[in-house]
Amino acid sequence: MQKNIFFKKKNIKAQFAFPNIKIKKNFLINDVKSLDRAMINDVTFLDSIKYALSAKKTKGSLCITTKKLRHLLPDNVEKLIVENVLLELAKVLKKIYPSSDIDYPDFSLQKPSIRKYNSVKFGNNVLVGKNVKLGKNTIIGTNTIIEHDVNIGKDCVVGSNVIIKNALIGDRVVLQDNCKIGQKGFGFIPLNEKNIKFPHIGKVLIKNDVEIASGCTIDRGSVDDTCIGKNSYLDNQVHVAHNVKIGENCMIAGQVGFAGSSSIGNNVSIGGQSGISGHLKIGNNVKIGGGSGVVNNIPDNSQVMGYPAVPLKEFVKQRKKYDR
What Cα–Cα distance (Å) separates residue 314 from each residue in 83, 237, 281, 318? Answer: 41, 30, 21, 6
Which residues, including other chains, have CB under 8 Å from residue 188's CB and lie 6 or more apart?
195, 196, 197, 198
Is residue 314 a contact partner of residue 295, using CB atoms and an 8 Å limit? no
Q: Is the peptide bond before 308 cis (omega within 30 degrees of 0)?
A: yes
By the 10 Å C-beta count (0-12 exposed, 13-18 middle, 19+ buried), 236 is classed as middle
Residue 242 designated active-site: yes
Q: Which of 71, 200, 239, 242 is catalytic?
A: 242
Phi-psi bin for 259: left (phi > 0), alpha (psi -120 to 50), beta? Answer: beta
Candidates 136, 138, 163; CA nearest to 148 is 163
Tell me the DSSP string of 174-206: EE-TT-EEEE----EEE-SS-EEEPP----EEE
The residues annotated as belonging to the active site are: 242
